[in-house]
Every structure is written in structure tokens, then in C-alpha cells.
Amino acid sequence: MDDAKISRTGILFGIGAYLSWGFFPLYFKALQNVSPLQIMANRVVWSFILLVGIVAIQRAWPHLRGSMSDRRTLLVHALAGVLLAINWLVYIYGVNSGQVVETSLGYFINPLVSVALGVIFLRERLRPLQWVPVGMATTGVLYLTVQVGSLPWIALALAFSFGFYGLMKKVSSVGSLDGLTLETGAIFLPALSYLLWMNGQGQGAFGHTGWLTTLLLVLSGVLTTVPLLMFARAAQSIPLWTIGLLQYIAPTVQFLIGVLVFHEPFDQAHLIGFGIIWAALLIFTLEGLLYRQRRVRQARTQPQQVHTP
């Protein structure tokens, strides 16, 4: 009964995290009078301040100092911080330049990009059927490039920056709170220096563009940190395959907001290109579920085979 409760709680946390990420376009659209670089820098600064506060409240300084004592760990999370900053900057630019649909595409193809990066850098092996959705996603991107007339660079930048970010996290054994604190800490001083410089030039948005904008910039730290902590809680209490299913909530909500709320164009070429990628994700997800079911059945029957005289 306790396990069931934990599982339900984990699913709720997972849904909450992905729904939060799904509604990000509405939040950042309210800040479209601020440059994407300033929004990203504020997001870094306030996220780091909030994370330091959480570490202090939890009295987790000894654990964090232990993580900081290893050079390799610091380097990995510094690179992860740079990738995170790139991802945030491209995403904010995509939203505030009226390309929410393309940003959703980036997170639709991200799982397949992550699989490809695992093959290339971690020497992971794909099961034969897994190659099909990877090839289909590549075909979908190429189709959109040819039909729309330009490479969907925002989608690719988001997918690959987050894919490489996940790769950095995979080779690190640091927990989610310590990891995110190290990552935002690595880019905190450059972000703060940029904001102070912009303020000195008379171009800073913080404190100079109305109280609502200033409040939204401060709350961007909460907006960043809370879903990540919810996701970490979910990842600890529900299976990975469940997270794999939940992760499509965010790009789906973003896509619907782009089309239905912001009325971004979505013509036949987009429908065919997205359709190919959606079909690839369906095959990818079903293959994973079927593979898991086979493993569960094998695990159940194996003991009987071992004890058979």
C-alpha cells in the first residue's frame, strides 16, 4: 500500500513538472519586452540564489562541498551549466520570436537525439527496431527543412543542447540538488556580470521596466527550480518507462499553445513533417513498453526454469 502511494505521488510530481514546462511559453511571452539574453541571465542568477537557499535550509553544505572537491565533477557540471544556458537562451528566443511550435519540435525529438548520443558516446547498443524511429525522426527533420525552406535550427539546438546536458548528467553521480547548484553556480558570475554591465549602460530591464516585469524576472528562478525538484522527486519513485511516457506532456502542451493560443502557422508541410516524427515517437515508445513486458515475463519464468529438475 505504501509503495502504491509513493508511485501515485511520483506520478503526480512528474505530471506537475512536465505541465509546468509545457506552460513556459505563456510565462516567457509576458517578458517579451526584455531581451532573451537578459531573461536567461536573470533565470540563472535567481535560480542559483534559490538553490543556495535550499541547500542552506537542508544543511547540505558538507555534501555539496564534497561534490566540489572533485575536479572531474566540477568540469562536468560546468559544461552542463553552459549547455543549460544555451538551451534556456534558445528556448526563450524561440518563444518570444513567435516560434513556439518549433520549440515543441525540439523536445519531441529530444528522446531520439538522446538515444543517438548514447550510441555515439556511451557505446550503448540500439535494439533493431529502435533504429526505425531514429531514422524516421531524421527523415521528418529533413522533410521540414526542404518543404519549409530552412533548417529548423531552434528545434535542433534545443534537442541537442538538452541531449548533451543529459549526457553530462549521466556520467555524473552527483544528486539533482547538488548538480543543479553546481551548474547554475558555474554560470552565475558571468550572468550576474552581464546584468550589472547592462544596468550600468542604462539598458538593464531589472528594476527599470515596471514592477511586474521585475517580479517575473525574480520568479523565473522559482519557475526553473521547482519543476526540476518535482522531476527529481518523480524520478526517485516511478519507473523510467513511466517518465518516458510523461515527457511528451511538455512539448504537446507547448505545441497546442503555439497553434491555438499564439496562432502560429501550421500548414500541410508542418503536418506531414510533425506526423512523421510523432509516428517515430509512437514506435519508439511502444517498442520500449513491449521490451519491458518481455523482460518482466522472462524474470518471472526464469526462477521456475532454474528449479525444474
- Helical segments of 122-152, H only: 131-148
Question: How many structural domains does the chain have?
Answer: 1
CB-CB contact of 10 with 245 (8 Å): no
Structural domain boundaries, residue 226: 2-307
For each successive 10 residues of the chain (309 residues), what is the average pLDDT? 57 89 94 94 95 91 83 90 95 95 92 85 82 89 86 93 86 82 94 94 81 92 88 72 77 94 92 92 83 78 54
Q: What is the pLDDT of residue 174?
A: 81
CB-CB contact of 70 with 165 (8 Å): no
Q: What is the pLDDT of residue 48?
A: 95
Q: What is the pLDDT of residue 64?
A: 83
Q: What is the pLDDT of residue 304?
A: 52
Q: What is the pLDDT of residue 3?
A: 44
For residue 308, the SS3 value is coil
Q: What is the pLDDT of residue 254?
A: 94
CB-CB contact of 47 with 225 (8 Å): yes
Nearest partner of 244 among 253, 231, 230, 227, judged by Cα? 231
Cα distances from 106 to residues 58, 95, 177, 250, 254, in angstroms, run: 35, 12, 25, 11, 11
